Amino acid sequence: MEHTTVEKINLKGRDFLTLLDYQPEEIKQLLDLAAELKSKQKSGITTNLLAGKSLGMIFENASTRTRVSFEVGMTQLGGHALFLSPRDLQIGRGEPIMDTANVLSRYVDAIMIRTNSHQNVEEFAKHSEVPVINALTDYYHPCQAMADLLTIYEHKQTFAGLKLVYVGDGNNVAHSLLAAGAKVGMDVVVATPEKYEVDPVIFEKIKEAAKETGAKVSLTYDPVEAVQDADVIYTDVWASMGFEQEQSEREKAFAPFQVSEQLVSGAKEDYLFLHCLPAHRGEEVSAGVIDGEHSAIYDQAENRLHAQKAILASLIK
């Protein structure tokens, strides 16, 4: 990827709700900028691109990587971030989304939301006067996918010809990985147990997007077949937030989908292992795999910071 500068990216004022809203070239520009900002930080170069700017961060769910990476990212860009839980906002007491969005967007320069309902984020963006960034909903996790793409490129130096295999729950991470592959021309296979598939409506949208880049996106119930010749293997927890009460039932359904040494033996010798964290060693992935030589989970977690800095710098006016 060639290094770029934020001035070359024409995304000011845009929302960042799903990668499906962005053109392939725009995503590549964001990745280029993320790589540039990461390089500058490692070299000790200050980039005050957002001096005097503020980010409102609304969290309905617990967070480690999302909160810290966004807050630190704004600080490194010269700006300021405000953590807002439902207890801090009237929206937690029933204030309409429309009112909260209208008011907050007159105070801050962008709003980041981590919530359960994707429809609520879309509603918020509809009434906000500043960019709204989806930091996780039940349908999509686009900021995580951007960090994933940055990590894959750093390790593989290309997207063309790569096969990424996601094994596990057909959740928001699976949706966003499929969308990411469709946008950058990387093949993606998602292997899930029956009854835990990706959303069929979302998958149809992704298949349409994949036509532009020629990426192959596919679904299967067979994890062994899926990981054959994989360049990247990815998994997530079996019971995401909001599904903890299904833990016992899911453990039975997902047992054959554990990313173990036996499962990954079908992948390429230089395969890369990714996990969005937090991870449950001994459940969705064996300790030998996640802590092994193929794992890049900490590079991946760090890249949340750099990918989100690129998003913030590009969208905030």
What is the arrangement of strands in the sheet containing 132-134, beginning at the earlier edge strand?
80-84, 54-59, 110-114, 132-134
Given 236, 294, 300, 306, which residue is catalytic? 236
236 is catalytic: yes
> Which residues contact residue 245 at a Cβ distance below 8 angstroms, ignoring those fewer than 6 apart?
none
The mean per-residue pLDDT over the stretch 196-215 comes to 98
pLDDT for residue 242 is more than 90: no
- Is 245 annotated in the active site? no
Closest CA to 296 of 271, 315, 268, 263: 271
- What's the whole-number average pLDDT of the chain? 95
240 is in an annotated binding site: yes
| Token pair 């009460």: residue | 245
Adjacent-strand bridge partners of 65: none
229 has a pLDDT exceeding 80: yes
Catalytic residue check, 67: no
Residue 145 has pLDDT above 80, yes or no: yes
Q: How far is CA 293 from CA 264, 270, 273, 296, in A?
A: 13, 10, 9, 8
Q: Check: pTM over 0.75? Answer yes or no.
A: yes
Residue in 72, 130, 74 with CA at minimum distance from that of residue 101: 130
Q: Which of the following is catalytic: 118, 250, 275, 304?
A: 304
**100 Cβ contact partners less than 8 Å away, ≥ 6 residues apart:** 89, 90, 91, 124
Q: Was 281 annotated as part of a binding site?
A: no
Say how many C-beta atoms besides its own lie within 10 A of residue 23's C-beta: 11
141 catalytic? Reply is yes
Q: What is the DSSP letter of 256?
A: G
| DSSP type of residue 106 | T
Q: Is 65 annotated as a binding residue?
A: yes
Q: Is 144 a catalytic residue?
A: yes
Choose the catalytic residue: 32, 109, 138, 141: 141
Task: Write the Ramachandran bin of 182: left for phi over 0, alpha for psi from -120 to 50, otherwise beta.
Answer: alpha
* CB atoms closer than 10 angstroms to residue 291: 13
- Output the pLDDT for position 8: 87
Reply yes or no on whether 106 is catalytic.
no
Q: What is the set of domains in the chain, with CATH numbers?
A: 19-140+303-316 (3.40.50.1370), 144-300 (3.40.50.1370)
pLDDT of residue 178: 98
Closest CA to 53 of 85, 71, 89, 77: 77
